[in-house]
Every structure is written in structure tokens, then in C-alpha cells.
Structure 1
Amino acid sequence: MTSEQKRALVVRGGWPGHEPVAITDLFLPFLRDNGYEVEVSDTLAVYEDAGRLAASDLIIQCWTMGEITPQQREGLVTAVRAGTGFAGWHGGIVDAFRGDVDYTLLTGGQFLMHPSGFSDHTVKLVKERSEHPVIAGLSDFRVHTEKYWMATDGDIDVLATTEFEPDERRPHAVTMPAVWTRTVEAGRVFVSTIGHKPDDFDVPEVRTLTERGLLWAGR
């Protein structure tokens, strides 16, 4: 490893329905091509290893649901505050460790529900943020996947949204954050709610903004 080489830690597991191994494997060659030495962990115990976290320039998490211990969560939060980037997509980052408020304050959002099944819907980029490096040069795009209803922190930089149409329970449309970034002291956090299944990343815009988000979050 050269002195210039960066280190990425991929933490994957939890509920198998989000295919954490198959989907994170899509991005390992990209990380290596962009100068990262990649380490993969299938246990949250890695979050108790302060030295490994501090040595990581980027943590990519794909771990849906499950439970995180206070010691593991504190290790993760401490590392990000000190400058380690944190990034992920869909339930692997925002449907993880439900009810842990400090974890939600790290990510900036928590999944609440999604309509049954997959739907064709538009992801709209926030025009005022069109120059952000994660979405620069991209346009609104269509996906066929789950659409997440989120509870989000007011202190996030929303880059893309989805819209929930009025229905029998809700007489008005609701615009929902779908992609955002944030900073947590010295660390950067990237979240995309898109990515339930591997072919979601066959949509060029989804793949591009996810790859850019990973690089943006890295130290």
C-alpha cells in the first residue's frame, strides 16, 4: 500500500432481503479503481475497533435492521466525527438499528414505510443544488423500485426527492428526500434511499450518483 492509497471499510449484513453481499460487490472494483484498499466486514464488532475505524477514510454500510450495541454505535459516531466518511443506500443505511436515536442523528434520516411492492416513479434532482458534485450534470430520472417514506433531520443537504401522490389517507402530495449529504463535525455522510435490488443500479443515474456519493464522503 502506498502512502497515497486510501482505505475503505465495507460493513455488510443484517436482513438478507437487501442482498448486502451482491450489491456491495458491485462497488468494490470501483473503489479499488479509485485508489482505495478495501476491507470487508460481516460483523458489527468492527465498530468497536477504534484503530481500524480511524485508519479508514470511508465506511460503506449495507446492514438492514438488526441491533447495534451502544459501544459499536459510539465507535462509529466517534470515527465519523473525527473525519472518516460514512455512506450507504436504501435500508442498509436508513433502515438500520431502528430506535437508536444517536445513529439516526448520524445518518440524518430514518425509514418509516414504503407502499407495497415496486413502483415506477421519478426521482427529481433539486435544481438549487445542481452544481453539487454528486448530481452535477445529471437530470431527473425514472426508477422501478421501492419508494421510501422517511423521517429526516432538518440539517441535511437534500439533492434529490420523490413525490407521494395524494391517496385515501393523505389529501395532498408530499415531497420526500431521496438523496442527501451532510457533515458531522469533520466527517461527511452520503445517503441514497434508492437500492433495494441489484438492478436498481443498472439505471445509469443511480449508479453514477451512488459512486459519486461514495467518493464525496471519503476523507
Structure 2
Amino acid sequence: MKVHLIAAGKFHDIDFARLELLKLLAERPQIRTSVAADYGDLASLAAADLLITYTCDLMPDGLQQVAALEAFLARGGRWLALHGTNATLRFGADGVVDTPDEVPAFTRMLGTRFAGHPPIAPFKVFVTRGDHEITQGLRDFRVEDELYLTHRTAEIDVLLHTSFTGRCDEFRDADWDEAEVPVLYERKVGEGRVLYLTLGHCRGHYDLQPVSAFWPHPQRCAWNYPVFHELLRRAIGWGLPHAA
């Protein structure tokens, strides 16, 4: 079974996330994984059963790469999108972060577009649908992570959610009052499916350059929680149902 992992981007400890995901994939000996740092390896994507992306501020480069993702989903491929996959970050002259929709065909496939997050803090995650293979048997849980706030770009089926009322002062889209903030959702695209899990922030000492030369406190957030690893294991199984 072939998995294509894209792990790259800004302001996160991508090396840590890549290694943790590869360790989880290695638990299934029938999986063979290709690894890339952008969306340019079209041959590996075309051969894959499952695409996994852990990125931030990394978009497909041009129509050919967008079309390859569309073709992957159209033929029945499954895409596990993690954390900042849907994020575009542009720093304004005033230091506030804009999150423009620069590749709308991409965010339309994903079903959401990142818009901001409050400071990292504990929050409660609720099981929205307990009858799905990813959430069956799970209970509501608390986690300390970035609470991702998004705008929906297409129809999605929310499986886990949280809520948020307040401000995200670092982001242009600052004021929020949301009773249902998607944390995990599924979306059907063609014959394929997207599974998006917003948890999983991680950052080391040197990952905020050039914004900050040194980050004093490394962050692992949801990676410290067994429930997050359980969700990832289930998501890998979801991506390869015939390998379960």
C-alpha cells in the first residue's frame, strides 16, 4: 500500500512531525511511503492510495499541481490533511497576519480555509458524530493545542468540534463567536475523500525564524496526548481500508 507524505512549511517543527508520522506509518508493515517537501512529486501522488499533508503556508505551485490533487481525489484517493495544510499567512506592515485565499481551488478541495487561532491553551473537544469509524467509542476530551478557526469553503461532515468566543489579536480576522468549530471532519470529493484534523501544533527553538530568532519553549501540544495518536492511527486505517 502506498502513502505519499508531504511535510514542509513555516513556523512549525516539521522534522518532528514528519518523524512521528513515519513512525506511525511504520506500524503497518505493508505500507510503503514516499516523502516530499512540496506538491511537486506528481508521480508519487499518482501512485498513492493515501496522501498525508502536514504543512503550513505551503500551497500547490500552479494549475498542474492543483489538477493532480483533483485527479487523485477523483479516482478515489484519500487525503489526510493535518493542522496547517489549509493555511496561508501574510504579515501586514502593522504586524497583523492576513490569511488570504490565494489558491481557492485548493481550499475548496479541503473544505475549509484557516483564518486564525487564539493563544495556545487547553480546550475541550466534543464528539459530534460517534457513529463514524474514526470516532466510534471515543469520548469528549480536553487538549492543549492551537484552536484552529476556519472559514468553510465547501460542504463538510463534522466529526469532532469545539467552540470559541473571543479575539485572535494576532490575526486580521480577529473577532469570533462560533458554537461549532470543526476539529475533525470528512469531505467527499469525486470518488475520494478528505479527512481534516486541525490538531497537532509543534514548534522547536528555531522554527519561528525570521520572525523570532529563538523560541524559548518547545511545543508539542496534541502530540503529547494518546488520543491524538489514536486518531492518527485510525486515520491511517481510514486511508487504507483494505489494509486494515
TM-score normalized by the length of structure 2: 0.77
Tell me how far apart the structure 2 counterparts of residues 82 and 210 of structure 1 sit (CA, whole Å). Answer: 23
Letter in 1 for 2:112: G
Report the CA distance between 1:53 and its aligned residue.
2.1
Report the CA distance between 1:42 and its aligned residue.
2.0
Which of 191, 196, 204 aligns to 2:201? It is: 196
Counterparts of 1:25-36 in structure 2, within 5 Å, are: 25-34=19-28, 35-36=30-31
Tell me how far apart the structure 2 counterparts of residues 103 and 86 of structure 1 sit (CA, whole Å). Answer: 13
User: Is this contact kept in 1: 2:112–2:154, CA < 8 A?
Assistant: no
Q: 1:94 to 1:172 in 2, by over 3 A?
A: closer
Which of 13, 17, 20 aligns to 1:19? It is: 13
Report the CA distance between 1:79 and its aligned residue.
1.2
Alignment coverage as a number of residue pairs: 206
- Pair 1:118 & 2:120 matched: yes
User: Is this contact kept in 2: 1:84–1:218, CA < 8 A?
Assistant: no
Q: Which residue of 1 aligns with 2:107?
A: 104
User: Is this contact kept in 2: 1:112–1:150, CA < 8 A?
Assistant: yes
Report the CA distance between 1:176 and its aligned residue.
0.9
TM-score normalized by the length of structure 1: 0.85
Q: Which residue of 1 aligns with 2:76?
A: 83
Counterparts of 1:1-219 in structure 2, within 5 Å, are: 6-15=1-10, 17-34=11-28, 35-47=30-42, 49=43, 52-68=44-60, 69-91=62-84, 93-95=85-87, 98-115=101-118, 117-126=119-128, 129-165=129-165, 174-197=179-202, 198-218=220-240
User: Is this contact kept in 1: 2:113–2:152, CA < 8 A?
Assistant: yes
| Alignment gaps of 5+ in structure 1 | 1-5
Report SS of the residue matched to 1:142: strand
Paired-residue identity, %? 25
Letter in 2 for 1:203: Y
Tell me how far apart the structure 1 counterparts of residues 177 and 104 of structure 2 sit (CA, whole Å). Answer: 29
User: Is this contact kept in 2: 1:86–1:218, CA < 8 A?
Assistant: no
CA root-mean-square deviation:
2.3
Q: Which residue of 1 aligns with 2:210?
A: none
Report SS of the residue matched to 1:33: coil
Q: 1:218 to 1:18 in 2, by over 3 A?
A: farther
Tell me how far apart the structure 1 counterparts of residues 178 and 88 of structure 2 sit (CA, whole Å). Answer: 27
Q: 1:172 to 1:55 in 2, by over 3 A?
A: closer
Tell me how far apart the structure 2 counterparts of residues 9 and 130 of structure 1 sit (CA, whole Å). Answer: 29
Q: Which residue of 2 aligns with 1:3?
A: none
Letter in 2 for 1:122: K
User: Is this contact kept in 2: 1:118–1:145, CA < 8 A?
Assistant: yes
Report SS of the residue matched to 2:26: helix
